[in-house]
Structure 1
């Protein structure tokens, strides 16, 4: 069993803890946080299903003052850990890295950290083998993770020469107020970082893109125009996407009108927090323009990176040396593909 510690019990950290606890070959040591929060209050009310460790004594005192049971300090948890999943705020992970090195612990960082924090910029399906035995890996962002799933899927089928993407990006996660109350769209300079990151993972594909921030919270929407190396029909593209266990195909006439419909469906399924690990592609959006294939993707930003993060554990710890075998184990334990 591989001993895993989650550092940062926020939006991503909660979901990572849940995901690791579902794996039959991993042991969750616990979760670490630095301050009292609604997430910690909920953890207590749920009966402390995970041991909680405090970053330092000051944090432990604050948590204790709020009646939160604390198992110990971060240093004590690191002594029992093989690999850390760092889900802290951007920039904090880079500082934490020195402590992980001190204890000889591997670490996986989320997409908000700079690329130089890690040895490998990682995606489970696209470059699993590059992560084997690596000490420090960094995940792609939520949008890039989902985008690569779709583009890599087509690339393996017919080869992809280039892609042009437009991202309609949710402005904040549900419950966040730091962006304020807005009624506007905001455009970023092109190309967006997701296109550049895609080329880092899949260097044989040329990519560019535009990003627009929208005042919504439940998911991003990406349009992709992909130029295949050989002609591929709409039906072939649909059939190829359907084979991928981290892609869910949806249709407008089924009631999937947009991001809110998908979020409601996940809640109706009984998914914790209304989460989906899969990206959704609307069959109705898959069209051709000459040789190019165009389609639209829904990205569930709070949960989409969880499967690839678990893949990263398998790679760094060399639990599986074959990427296909590794992702199939992750998928099975998370229940991905079982709905087909």
Structure 2
């Protein structure tokens, strides 16, 4: 079977990780990555020996790359023409402009969560609505918080059925290395309901969802408190059984030393994961509480890497590599080595 050729627009926080993720897929070929300026990420790519080919978007200062000795393989449009599908990881609002080039060249594309839903045919999640993306030309991923939230809610919904959910998101204010949000010593609350709750209902319209979001002056990960109302009473033991069977949910506990977001980031580095990334969301066993007929739990969202598996699921769906969620997600998990074993 001929490999699917994948190009990546934007080599920033997400683009770097998408490139690494696609490069691990044995049934895909990474054509290259495209960017406009020699950012630190691009300079690091060059210093590592240019493992991925670099293409330049319109308006890029070619001389700036030449002065740094960074080799360039061609234009953004040339990368598009050599690809079957583009993963657009450009800044929010740029993807919709890039779509004109994708349509002109007859190439499929997957957009990240920052773009408006109207940019795509399907608002996509690898577990919750994979089949809706099969064969579609343009998909849009959910945001990092929504991606992880849906994993957990969909997990329980498939096992027991869910009527509604209410969430509180403790949101990191910026990615590591970002300075544009300033230096703060404050929390900021958004107007309810949060977009993550609304997005969940778009993907899973049979569930009522609402939520509150609080911005916090930290960088390594979000924490979401989730309350779920099942079609039947879900006990802690029932929830744990399902969570432990989900390959993209890592069940952890405070007793083990996972005290919060920093513990998980350090653990990922100790595992030797590149950049301290973790594809799985973490779910605290200690946080699972039964409240009447409802159940409550807390999850950690590694915002820089959590959407990578679902994006690769999107390639599989859009290009009809696998036509069911089970087949597609299992193949993605296999190549990304998401195979940690958990005691039931």
TM interval, short-chain normalised = over 0.9
Per-residue CA distance 1:185-244 (angstroms, 9 max, x = gap): 000000000000000000000000000000000000000000000112101101100000
CA distance in 2, matches of 1:87, 1:5: 10
User: Structure 2 unaligned runs (5+)?
Assistant: none
Instruction: Give the aligned length.
Output: 340
CA distance in 2, matches of 1:278, 1:101: 33
- Equivalence for 1:324: 326
Q: Secondary structure at the match of 2:127?
A: helix
**Contact 2:36/2:59, CA 8 A, preserved across alignment:** no
Greater alpha carbon shift after TM alignment, 73-82 vs 85-94: 73-82
CA distance in 1, matches of 2:309, 2:14: 12
**Contact 1:146/1:304, CA 8 A, preserved across alignment:** yes
CA distance in 2, matches of 1:202, 1:189: 22
Per-residue CA distance 1:272-293 (angstroms, 9 max, x = gap): 0000000000000000100100
- Equivalence for 2:29: 27
Q: Secondary structure at the match of 2:49?
A: coil
- Equivalence for 1:279: 281
Matched, 1:194 2:199: no
CA distance in 1, matches of 2:334, 2:61: 37
Please state how far the C-alpha of 1:67 moved relative to its aligned partner. Answer: 1.6
Matched, 1:65 2:74: no
Please state how far the C-alpha of 1:79 moved relative to its aligned partner. Answer: 1.5
- Equivalence for 1:7: 9
Q: CA RMSD in A?
A: 0.8
**Contact 2:33/2:54, CA 8 A, preserved across alignment:** yes
Q: Secondary structure at the match of 2:300?
A: strand
Please state how far the C-alpha of 1:321 moved relative to its aligned partner. Answer: 0.9
- Equivalence for 1:45: 47
User: Structure 1 unaligned runs (5+)?
Assistant: none
CA distance in 1, matches of 2:56, 2:84: 18
Q: Secondary structure at the match of 2:295?
A: strand
**Contact 2:18/2:308, CA 8 A, preserved across alignment:** yes
CA distance in 1, matches of 2:59, 2:116: 29
Please state how far the C-alpha of 1:29 moved relative to its aligned partner. Answer: 0.1
CA distance in 2, matches of 1:64, 1:52: 13
Among 82, 98, 101, the residue aligned to 1:99 = 101
Q: Secondary structure at the match of 2:272?
A: coil
CA distance in 2, matches of 1:88, 1:176: 16
Among 247, 250, 255, the residue aligned to 1:248 = 250
CA distance in 2, matches of 1:73, 1:135: 22
**Contact 2:37/2:60, CA 8 A, preserved across alignment:** no
**Contact 1:57/1:73, CA 8 A, preserved across alignment:** no
For 1:299-314, list aligned pairs within 5 A. 299-314=301-316
- Equivalence for 1:165: 167
**Contact 1:125/1:327, CA 8 A, preserved across alignment:** yes
CA distance in 2, matches of 1:244, 1:202: 18
Q: Secondary structure at the match of 1:262?
A: helix
CA distance in 1, matches of 2:63, 2:319: 34
**Contact 1:192/1:211, CA 8 A, preserved across alignment:** yes
Please state how far the C-alpha of 1:57 moved relative to its aligned partner. Answer: 5.8
- Equivalence for 2:184: 182
Please state how far the C-alpha of 1:339 moved relative to its aligned partner. Answer: 4.4
Matched, 1:148 2:150: yes
Please state how far the C-alpha of 1:77 moved relative to its aligned partner. Answer: 1.1
Q: CA 1:331/1:193 → structure 2, altered by over 3 Å: closer, same or farther?
A: same
After TM superposition, where is structure 1 displaced by more than 6 Å over at least 4 residues in a row?
A: none
